[in-house]
Amino acid sequence: MKKLNLCILALFLFSAFLFGVESDPSEIVGYVAYDCVTTATGSENFIALPMDTGYTMASELGNAYPNQIIAISNWVPATQSWSSAFFSGGTWFDDYALALGNAYMISITEAITFYSVGPMVDPIVYNLVTGTTGNDNFIMVPLDRSDLDFASELGDDIGVVNAVSTWVAGTQSWSAAFFSGGTWFDDYGIEIARPLMVGITEAVTWPSARHETRY
């Protein structure tokens, strides 16, 4: 599984290392590091953009890791499909704009550590939707939600979730917690900045001003 390392530094406290900061994002800079691996069966890894890295296009992110990142894929909930920018013959094709706070799947040629470096993104709001053929959406656990320790807690906080899935890069497969009959099964631990796929039962905006916990 990818290892997520969060280091958030206050502008005037360069020696302070804080976890799960809840302060004005304009006053905070730092980085999140995602350790990405290749395996015998594939090279897909998930990252997110919790910091304002300055990358506006997928190609810019890819060019920061030349010949190491060869594809960057974005999930489109409305069509329940991937949209991908890919690198071939020295050129990026099907480039698209990145969104801060989004989770992306990257294909790599060798193990790398991807860094999201810069000011902390303003509070992220996800407009989760149901698509024409499914109900999966991708999110990143917000940096100010260190209170969410398990997939079940995140699902209950969103309130309309029946599955929370995480990508296990080491096996190139999904691991999922499921909600059924009032109970969560196969629960697992989560942490801030972690990309996750959530299956929803109806459209919802999250986090909302008022968190609705399912009982």
pLDDT above 80: residue 143: yes
* CA–CA dist 55, 40 (Å, integer): 30
Residue 57's Cβ-count burial label (10 Å; 0-12, 13-18, 19+) is middle
Neighbours of 157 (CB within 10 A): 18
Q: Provide the sign of the torsion angle of the four alpha carbons 148, 182, 79, 206, taken in this order.
A: negative
State pTM to two decimals.
0.85
Q: How confident is the model at residue 10 (pLDDT cuts 50, 70, 90)?
A: very low
Rounded Cα distance, 72 and 84, in Å: 6
Nearest by Cα to 117 from 184, 31, 35, 7: 31
- Least confident range from 110-114, 116-120, 136-140, 155-159: namely 116-120
CB atoms within 10 A of CB 96: 15
Query: Chain-wide mean pLDDT for the chain?
Result: 87
Question: Which pLDDT score, from 0 to 100, does residue 28 have?
Answer: 61
pLDDT of residue 59: 98
Q: What is the domain partition of the chain in residue ranges?
A: 4-119, 126-206
| Average pLDDT, integer, range 31-38 | 96
Residue matched to tokens 């290392």: 17
Position 23 pLDDT exceeds 80: no
In the β-sheet with 183-185, what is the strand arrangement from edge to edge? 136-140, 195-200, 161-168, 173-180, 183-185
The CA-atom distances, in angstroms, between 141 and each of 50, 82, 87, 90 are 9, 21, 29, 34
**Res. 120 pLDDT band, cuts 50 70 90:** confident
Confidence check: pLDDT of 17 > 80: no
